[in-house]
Structure 1
């Protein structure tokens, strides 16, 4: 048997197995019950309106705040990690390893409840501010390593050439190294933005007012109240909305990475 024929038969067999599995799974699903519990059309419009107007709006707002704050912190940490002063390198490394090793949920709870109890200080913005501060602290640790890798990926000869022209180290970093590093790290930073979109769901543990609730908390509340109470339709809608936000971003990341690979 020719190799091409053998490969064709193998592919056909795999397709047949996949089709058989799909048929078996489809025959076992109670489609009526599935539709009634996960895709109920009763009250779909009001549910979708509440999820979009409050949930999606707050989710994107919280993500933007956490990303900008984390990126600003990451710049400082990345420069400390690359500092010629050993103490700065040790402090930045300790911070990054500490917050990368902790679950985001623990950090959020610590900022919302632990810090006020221990020090009598509440972060600005109340519970929401405390939760966002927790996300900023964790995101900053991850993005700092991304920025550090981007800075180190810029050829050292460019910084040396700038220094030979009389540019100061700070101006060399700001005008020569950092712009190139940012172009390199845009795809992983976009991935971090996508992760933050999903991490905002962790804010539900600190208790949010009705107008402050993000997408996951809104969907959870609609499980017990609202037009589709008693069904999981709100969770299905929330999942669809999350995908509508994150899938274009992940495709953008893939496109940027392929463009970078071609340019190299």
Structure 2
């Protein structure tokens, strides 16, 4: 007897079959629209919050922190009701009688707070040397963030973003509190209305199945993406069995690209001094480097070789002395102008891992010097 009651309550196939077309055409469509739109808008809000959150300026950092604390601290249903009912009059003027757009806005504001934290963590996980490499290539802060840091951060947090989309799919069921029109009902509201009409919970069970069909594959996709990002790309083909084999292969390689000519510059250093607070790192450095020459600076670790090179590119500012590049004092140049003329390779290289070796070389040629891609590619091939 109880089994029959259970079947009538949850497994009424006729009730499920009757509601299935509406669940597909109306409920599923609106759920995906709500989740996708709120995720896209939330990503835009999140990127802005992340950049503000890592800023050194307190007037940017503090508002971002307050926004995040408020919308992460409030229950989703409270935010939805505050936005949907509090701005109902404005919503009618802008969007008509439907609360649908306000529901998307509420979900977006909630998602933006979480996505902002996701992006902030992703950006801060990018090594600081990446931004320093951007500065060495004469990129501005905004260029470095847009071209290098943010793309790397997004790749690192892609699984978390998919998880946030899954949360938006489930949170979309709360929009029914705003009183959606019949054509705007999402999966839960379609199932609930049918459950009230039929007197059993089979339509709600069908709604739950729809949510599982959406979220479970995405969950496994997140796990797969996370595994791929952690394990890295697997190389295929034969690999050199030792370093000596690799050297032999490089020696036997033929160079197809034509060599490009560059005009070097002369460098004159007089009494260069540099200190970090009370600690004097460099003192009385004098050096003459003629045009077109190659100079090796040799010394033990910690003797200041890298610091000297960084001061020549103004990645760190000297405290005294004079550095002349082709007869021009570098302190009279804008740092970006100087760095566009002076190339630097870091001790740890700080190459951009999301770019190929060729793209690493082409980046400054195309983005900073404005060379055509074909010319930049030819120069890169000649340098490799």
Q: TM-score, normalised by structure 2?
A: 0.58
CA distance in 1, matches of 2:2, 2:10: 12
Question: Paired residue for 1:100?
Answer: 72
2:139 maps to which of 167, 184, 197: 167
1:168-203: per-residue Cα shift (whole Å, max 9, x none)? Answer: 111111111111111001000100000000000000
CA distance in 1, matches of 2:184, 2:16: 22
Question: Paired residue for 1:239?
Answer: 208
Asked if 1:216 is matched to 2:188, the reply is yes
CA distance in 2, matches of 1:85, 1:39: 59
- 1:115 deviates by 3.1
- 1:263 deviates by 2.5
1:69-93: per-residue Cα shift (whole Å, max 9, x none)? Answer: 1111111111100112111000100
Instruction: Give the match's secondary structure for 1:208.
Output: coil
Structure (1 or 2) with the larger CA radius of gyration: 2
1:258 maps to which of 207, 227, 230: 227
Instruction: Give the match's secondary structure for 2:139.
Output: coil
Question: Paired residue for 2:375?
Answer: none
Bigger fraction of residues in helix: 1
1:37 maps to which of 9, 14, 32: 9
**Given that residues 15 and 203 in structure 2 are in contact (C-alpha distance below 8 angstroms), is that contact kept between their aligned partners in structure 1?**
no
Asked if 1:198 is matched to 2:170, the reply is yes
Asked if 1:50 is matched to 2:19, the reply is no
Bigger fraction of residues in strand: 2
Question: Paired residue for 2:114?
Answer: 142
2:82 maps to which of 91, 110, 119: 110
CA distance in 1, matches of 2:79, 2:16: 36
CA distance in 2, matches of 1:58, 1:91: 33
Asked if 1:178 is matched to 2:150, the reply is yes
CA distance in 2, matches of 1:88, 1:70: 18
CA distance in 1, matches of 2:153, 2:15: 49
Q: TM-score, normalised by structure 1?
A: 0.84
Instruction: Give the match's secondary structure for 1:167.
Output: coil
Mark the runs of 5 or more structure 1 residues left unpaired by the alignment: 1-28
- 1:128 deviates by 0.9
Tell me whether 80-89 or 190-199 shows the greater mean CA deviation: 80-89
Mark the runs of 5 or more structure 2 residues left unpaired by the alignment: 234-384
- 1:159 deviates by 1.1
1:76 maps to which of 27, 48, 57: 48
CA distance in 1, matches of 2:37, 2:209: 23
CA distance in 1, matches of 2:177, 2:204: 17
**Given that residues 30 and 185 in structure 2 are in contact (C-alpha distance below 8 angstroms), is that contact kept between their aligned partners in structure 1?**
yes
**Given that residues 15 and 202 in structure 2 are in contact (C-alpha distance below 8 angstroms), is that contact kept between their aligned partners in structure 1?**
no
CA distance in 2, matches of 1:69, 1:167: 28
Tell me whether 32-41 or 62-71 shows the greater mean CA deviation: 32-41
Question: Paired residue for 1:6?
Answer: none
- 1:45 deviates by 2.2
